[in-house]
Amino acid sequence: MNHKTTYKLVFDAVMALLLVLMYNKNAVSMEFHELAGLVLLGIFLIHIFFNYRYFFHCTQRIFGKSLPVKTKAGYVLSLFSCIGIILMAISSVMISKTLFNIHGSNIWKTVHLSTAAALLIILGIHVGMHYQMIKKVVTKHLGNHRKIQKTLAVALTIGMLSFGLYNLATTQYLRWVSMPFSNSGLQELSHKEDRTEPRDPNLLQQTGISPLYTVLQYASILFVFVFLTKETEKTIMKRKRNT
């Protein structure tokens, strides 16, 4: 693995951390949420620029037989990510409360929240498909302590998977996923937000909201999709070897 790959992974990790922080608009403040969302959009555009050759190459060969299925799947995921980011950018402006002060309709809230939920799934699948590459880079920088690495990896997997399943059951995430298919989901969510959203930034501390906890919450949900993708790919590859 060269340094360029490592730098790309670090860049992607920063982008992912900023993304999961966005899943609680009160983790820092509404102003931060909206401004950081625009920054995240800029980072994503930089990411696309760095990988433009990949997109150009895949677009030319997407319907050909020479392109591996996994590469095609990654291309489709990237395409969905682009669509999702565009929808997030438009909906963010339409429901803005601070930067643009538009206060758009509930339809745009539905688009914003359900797209955010979908992006977490897409990112999880994307990371899961590149799990082995990420593992090689991380292992290289941790040295040759294989027993310690394996023990930490197992403990981290169990911890993140358990915490992720817990957060799937206790956060609003599954509601966001189902909102486009439910007439009552948005109304219930809006009522709950009206009751719980602090109007005074000084009240944030009283609500127990923590940026770090928000990152851990939604990173663990992300990890659930990473784990499922990794294990699915592992099963498929095992069956291919046995046939």
What length is written for the chain? 243
Single pTM value for the model: 0.81
In 3D, which of 36, 156, 53, 24 has the Cα closest to residue 98? 36
* Domain that residue 188 falls in: 3-242
Rounded distance, CA 222 to CA 234, Å? 18
Write down the pLDDT at residue 204: 39
Residue written as tokens 């294990």? Answer: 231
- Percent of the chain's residues with pLDDT above 70: 85
What is the total count of domains within the chain?
1
Nearest Cα residue to 7 out of 67, 37, 47, 41: 47
User: pLDDT by residue (tens digit) across 79-114?
Assistant: 898 899 889 888 988 888 888 878 767 888 889 999
Q: Is the pLDDT of residue 1 over 90?
A: no
Query: Residue 235 is which amino acid?
Result: T
pLDDT of residue 183: 64
- In tens, the pLDDT along 151-196 reads 888 899 999 999 999 999 999 899 999 888 876 555 554 544 443 3
